[in-house]
Structure 1
Amino acid sequence: MFLTDSHAHLDFYTETPTDRDEVLRRAYAAGVHTILAIGIGDGPATMHQALEIANATNGPDLPKIYATAGIHPQEATSATKEALAKLTALAADPRCIAIGEIGLDYYHFDNPDIATQQLAFTAQMYIAAQTRKPIIIHCRTSELATPQAKEKYGTADAWEDLLALIEQHWTHPGHGIAHGGIMHCFSGTVEQAQRSIDAGFHLSFAGNLTYPKAQSIRDAAAAASADRILVETDAPFLAPIPLRGQRNEPALVTHTAAALATLRGISPEELATLTTNNFKNLFPTTR
């Protein structure tokens, strides 16, 4: 049984000189043989780190690592001409298989204003189109945000804004763009899941799928088309039950995969094969 972790921040594992190697060996031993390392860093200045890890990782007991590059919506003010040029250059590397994570985040008060976030998101969609790379989407609404954030973002709905921008700049028939992508850490409703699938996206489910209050996510995971589901850790964040609150790592995607298999009434082995094949279909160069 081989699993694919479709979203992990491997550049965060720096507690000791051997921390990342140990994490990767545990992942391989757990059956996680492919990992997509997310290249946002702490902002554009370090978004190349995931690609460096992907190109440097090679060994019989280590997963195959692929990378992305992108500017997170929290860093949208840093999406300068120079930063976007750097992103374009990184995307030219064959091991960089997607642009992301990019999108909208109306959750934190200190995030950039809506117009700045949307401009950075749109610019990166066009880079993805030019380089023929899928996009990895981050979307977080203000529903559970602090009162200050709710006041800042008002009645704006990140999901509605996101899907509208995708329709306008990514999937619009007149643009001839159909490279798809992933709704990372999908946390929306059944309806939002279907709208995302209709727009050409895969849905990736993380450890929060296992949390007691996440019934709407489980409903979406159970209803989604079989050929559009993936699993991820978002490591080192969002460790699944029974390890919630601990540092997450790719090996623990097995817990999320088991929960998703149960929801869909299939075996963990079938789920592993299904999600790995879905990943390979979205990213043919990983076959």
Structure 2
Amino acid sequence: MLVDSHCHLDFPDFAGDFDAVMARAGEAGVTSLLTICTHLSRAEQVIAVSERAPQIVCTVGVHPHEAAGEAPRNVDALIGFASHPKVVGFGESGLDYFYEHSPRAAQQQAFRQHIEAARTTGLPLVIHTRDADADTAAILEDEMAKGPFSGVLHCFSSTPALAHKAVALGLYISFSGILTFAKSGPLRDLAATLPLDRLLVETDAPFLAPVPKRGKRNEPAFVAHTAASLAKARGIDLKTLAAATTANFFRLFAKAKTACV
């Protein structure tokens, strides 16, 4: 039993064979899926996708790439979605200084708004961070001091320092197909040292297909390859790893316990 803790099922990549994608996920033992919102203007479409199958839940939020044009007017614009039974968290939000499709100030403001929504509702935040370790750590530490909130650093490929800071703050770390890449030895070394009860696995589908599926469209079934890589890095069997990451998912996204039926 596995959970794909981060995918984008509303993307057009899945429009033509959605039912087949879901069937393959089930065959691979993926029993729950979290589909992630990137544009607040598409929140209703993301929710609609989550309603297509009982094992799918979703988040609502604005990707840092879109912060300049889609940042919430205020935190209530996010919180208003929290009452929907399929909405189990916020995001993905955070900082991306690699592409900087939105100004850093806009990204930081939107990030803090999402944190406030998470703190207010008790729902977790899905955090995107790329080439922004120092500012991500500073904002997380500053906001945690204002009051606790929960969340996960998704598709983790940053420094050990950021991973350990996040864990110390009570957050979770999610690994994607990047973990399986040949060049990712240091990332696997890090994954082997982090507390097992803070780890999740994901696809980030349709992006970042894992080995041996590189070059193909990623899909939720492929999370099994990332889970196998993580299990190998930690020296444990896949069944143990799957049970742990599934339990971690439902501990973090507690609302999903009733939403996934």
**Pick aligned residue for 1:137 from 127, 136, 142:** 127
Is the CA contact 2:36–2:91 (under 8 Å) kept in the aligned structure 1?
yes
Q: Which residue of 1 aligns with 2:51?
A: 55
Aligned partners of 1:207 and 1:256 also within 8 Å: yes
**Post-superposition offset of 1:67:** 0.5
For 1:244, give the aligned amino acid: R
**Residue 271 of structure 1 corresponds to which residue in structure 2?**
241
Q: Give, in angstroms, the shift of residue 222 of structure 1.
A: 0.7
The normalised TM-score by structure 2 is 0.93
CA spacing shift, 1:205–1:69, aligned 2, 3 Å: same
Q: Say whether residues 1:6 and 2:14 are aligned partners.
A: no
Q: Distance in 2 between matches of 1:260 and 1:162?
A: 25
| Structure 1: distance between partners of 2:206 and 2:23 | 15
Shift of 1:81: 4.9
CA RMSD of aligned residues (A): 1.6
Query: Which of the residues 177, 182, 191 maps onto 2:152?
Result: 182
Which residue of structure 2 lines up, in the alignment, with residue 257 of structure 1?
227
Unmatched 5+ stretches in structure 2: none
- Cα distance between partner residues in 2 of 1:53 and 1:254: 22
* Aligned 8 A contact 1:190 1:219 in 2: no
Is 1:162 the counterpart of 2:136 in the alignment?
yes
Q: Tell me the SS of whatever aligns to 1:245.
A: coil
Larger radius of gyration: 1
Stretches of 4+ moved more than 3 A in 1?
Answer: 13-17, 79-86
Q: Does the 8 Å CA contact 2:176/2:204 hold for their aligned counterparts?
A: yes
TM-score by length of 1: 0.85
* Cα shift at 1:47: 2.7
- Identical columns (%): 42
Q: How many residues align?
A: 257
Instruction: Please give the alpha-carbon distance, in whole angstroms, between the structure 2 residues aligned to 1:92 and 1:199.
Output: 27
Question: Structure 1 residues 182, 80: closer, same or farther in 2, change over 3 A?
Answer: closer
What is the rounded CA distance, in whole Å, between the counterparts of 2:117 and 2:181 in structure 1? 36
Kindly state the Cα deviation for residue 282 of structure 1 after the two structures are TM-superposed: 1.2
Instruction: Name the CA shift for 1:266/1:22 in 2 (closer, same or farther; >3 Å).
Output: same
Structure 1 residues 48 and 86, CA gap change in structure 2 (3 angstroms): farther
Q: 1:234 to 1:192 in 2, by over 3 A?
A: same
Measure how far apart 1:269 and its partner are.
Answer: 0.8
Counterpart residue number, 2:35: 37
Listed as ranges, the gaps of 5+ residues in structure 1 are 59-63, 142-157
Cα distance in 2 for partners of 1:257, 1:204 equals 11
Q: 2:122 matched to 1:122?
A: no
Contact 1:44 1:78 in 2 (8 A): no
Q: 1:46 aligns with which of 42, 59, 66?
A: 42
Contact 1:39–1:48, Cα closer than 8 Å, also in 2: no
TM-fit CA distance, 1:39: 1.4
Deviation at 1:115? 1.1
SS in structure 2 of the partner of residue 11 of structure 1 = coil
In structure 2, the partner of 1:67 is 58
Which structure ranks higher in relative contact order (CA pairs < 8 Å, sequence separation ≥ 6)? 2
Q: Which amino acid aligns with 2:114?
A: Q
Output the CA distance in 1 between the equivalents of 2:60 and 2:230.
28
Whether contact under 8 Å (2:40, 2:72) holds in the other structure is no
Counterpart AA for 1:24:
M
Indicate if the aligned counterparts of 2:47 and 2:87 stay in contact, CA closer than 8 A.
yes
